[in-house]
Amino acid sequence: MITVSTDTKFVHLAWQMDEPMLKNVKYPMGSDPTGKLSKTFGVYDEESGLSQRGVFIINPEGVLVSSEVNHIDIGRNSDELLRKLQANIYKSSHPEEVCPAKWHPGEKTMRPAPEFVGRAGEAYVQQEALRKR
C-alpha cells in the first residue's frame, strides 16, 4: 500500500505528525508534486493541480489489474479494496476460475463451462447449496 498526493514528502511528514488519526500509519506516503504519476493513471486534475480519489491495484508483474476513481468528496471503502486485492491474488494462482460478485476468500468460485451459459445464477445457487450441506 502506497498513498500518493501532489504534496511534498515534507508536508506528508508534517501531516502525519500533526493528525492523531494518522498516528498508526504504516504505509509509505508518496509524493507526486509534478503530477506525473497521477497523469499516468488519469487522475490528475489540471484545474486544481490535485489528484482525484483513485485507487489502483498492480500485480507483481507490473500490470494494472483493478482501477477505481471516486468523486473528490466521496470516500472509499478499504474493505472493498482488500476484497479486490484478495480476489486478484486468488485469481493469479487459479487462472481457470472466476470470483463471483461479493466474493470473499474461502467462498465458492466458479469455473465457466458450456452448460452454465445462460444459467450462471442457477449454477451458482446449486453450488452454494452443495457447499452449505
Partner 1 sequence: MEGCCGLRVGQKVPDFKIETFDPEVGGFGEICSEDLRKKGSWTALFFYPADFTFV
Under the binding rule (CB under 8 A), the answer on residue 120 touching partner 1 is: no
Strands 44-45 and 50-51: antiparallel
Pick the piece of the chain touching partner 1 (CB under 8 A) from 4-12, 94-102, 103-111, 118-126: 4-12
> Degrees (nearest 5) of the Cα angle 45, 50, 53?
85
The stretch near partner 1 (CB under 8 A) out of 45-53, 103-111, 113-121, 124-132 is 45-53
8/28 Cα distance (integer angstroms): 13
Instruction: Count other C-beta atoms under 10 Å from residue 90's C-beta.
Output: 17
Contact residues: partner 1, CB under 8 A: 1-16, 18-19, 22, 25-32, 35-46, 48, 50-67, 72-76, 81, 85, 88-89
